[in-house]
Amino acid sequence: MTAHFGPADLATLDALITAGIAVSRADAVRWALARVREQPAHAQLPVPGQTDPVTNEQDLTPAPIRLGPADLETLDALIATGAAASRAEAISWVLARIREQPGYARLGERARELDELKAHF
C-alpha cells in the first residue's frame, strides 16, 4: 500500500529511525502498529481529531509500505471502530498515539542530540 504522511507523522517516523528503533519508515510503521496491538482493547478506542493535522493534499508525502496480515488487521480494526476512515488515516492515528507517550519527547531530544553529534564529524 502507499501511505501519505503529513509533517508530524514524518517527524515521528524519522525520530524512530534516528533512535535506532527502526531502519526505515515502513519498519517504523510496523513497529508502531505492534505497540498498538500490545495495548489493552480499551486503549484502541478512537480519539477524534488527533491525527497529523495536514492542511491540504500538497503537505502529504507518499511512501510505499508493505504490511503483513496482522498489521492490516490492526488498521482495519481501527477503521471498524471509527478511529479512521482509511488505512492511511489509521496509520496517522497510530503515530499520534506514539507521540502521546511520555518517552516520545525524550526520544525527540535524543534524536536532536544524535544529529548534533553527526554534524561534528
Predicted pLDDT at 34: 92
Tens digit of pLDDT for each residue in 60-82?
788 888 999 999 999 999 999 99
Residue that is written with C-alpha cell 477503521 in the block: 79
Dig out the grid coordinates for 105 from the structure: 519527547
- Rounded to an integer, what is the distance from CA 92 to the centroid of its chain? 6
Q: For residue 37, give its domain range.
A: 2-119
Q: pTM of the entire structure?
A: 0.77
Predicted pLDDT at 27: 93
Predicted pLDDT at 53: 52
Predicted pLDDT at 67: 92
Residues of the chain with pLDDT under 50: 42, 44, 48, 55
| Number of compact structural domains in the chain | 1
